[in-house]
Amino acid sequence: MTQHVSKPPRWNDRLAWTRSPIASGSLALLCAVCFIATGAISADKTTADIEATRTALEKWVENQRIISKEKRDLALSKEMLNERIGLIQREIDSLREKIGDAKKSIEETDKKKGELIEQNDKLKQASSSLESTLVSLEDRTKDLLKRLPAPIRERVKPLSQRLPDGSEEKKASIAERFQNVVGILNEVDKFNLDITVNSEVRDVEDGGSVEVTALYIGVSQGYYVSANGKYAGVGASSDDGWAWKPSNDAAPAIADAIAILKNEKVASFVQLPIEIK
């Protein structure tokens, strides 16, 4: 039996084989498989690159958004800061102006204060001089009151009680004290320029007391007479005060003078005794 051994095809045979339809189909199929495999590998890599690119792009966009927001915030903060600086600067300028005005006012005040201090010193000197004069007037007024008849002393009693005593503190001002003295002297002057008739009670020589009608010619002379004409007297100012001296003999004349003043008699010349101290 004859056996046939298969020999490897020669190059020409190989070339011829590859040119055969079956070989061509197999080769095409192989190439397609290789292309698909290569495409799959390339597609996976492209997808990864796209994802990486997308991620990087998103981060870049986010960074740009943040940067843009920070720029806007910075610009807004800068604008607000500039406005605040302007406001503070205006306040500083206003305060400087007020400080300047205050300094001028202080200077004017100091000047006026100096003038007032100088004026006050002059007033103190004048006040001291006036007070010395006033003390003398008050003392002389008190001495005068002791010499006055009772009616005028009673009339000025609300004022005379305000005259300061040497032992008590002078609470009233100099002006008030001057007004007080002037008020007393005015009332005394009015009384001195008038003839006054007054009803009084007098002590008589027999130790009793009787109601009389008193006649005062200013503050220099005074007369009294009782209703029954039994008692009469003459009064005058003395060093010890106002003093009455009995003068019963002058009762008719004194009664006539009083009646004339009261329009109870026709006016006529009446001679009255005068007591001179």
Q: Record the pTM.
A: 0.56
Partnered with residue 237 across adjacent β-strands are 242
* pLDDT value, residue 2: 41
Interatomic CA distance for residues 43 and 133, integer angstroms: 129
Helix ranges (H only) for the chain are 11-18, 21-147, 150-155, 157-160, 174-192, 251-261
* pLDDT value, residue 195: 93
Interatomic CA distance for residues 221 and 185, integer angstroms: 18
Give the chain's mean pLDDT. 83
* pLDDT value, residue 35: 47
Mean pLDDT of 184-201: 94
Interatomic CA distance for residues 224 and 250, integer angstroms: 9
* pLDDT value, residue 89: 92
Between the two ends of the chain, the Cα-to-Cα distance in Å is: 213
Consecutive H or E run containing 232: strand 232-238
210 — pLDDT class (breaks 50, 70, 90): very high
* pLDDT value, residue 24: 52
* pLDDT value, residue 274: 85
> Which tens digits make up the pLDDT trace of 104-140?
999 899 889 989 998 888 888 887 888 888 889 999 9
CA 270 to mean position of chain CA atoms: 71
* pLDDT value, residue 170: 62
* pLDDT value, residue 44: 67
In three-state secondary structure terms, 162 is: coil
- What percent of the chain clears pLDDT 90, i.e. is strictly above it? 44
- For the record, the structure tokens of 43 come out as 């597609």
> Which tens digits make up the pLDDT trace of 44-93?
678 888 888 888 888 999 999 999 989 998 998 888 999 999 999 999 99
Instruction: Please report the DSSP string for 78-122 in residue order.
Output: HHHHHHHHHHHHHHHHHHHHHHHHHHHHHHHHHHHHHHHHHHHHH
Most confident region among 4-18, 37-51, 176-190 by mean pLDDT:
176-190
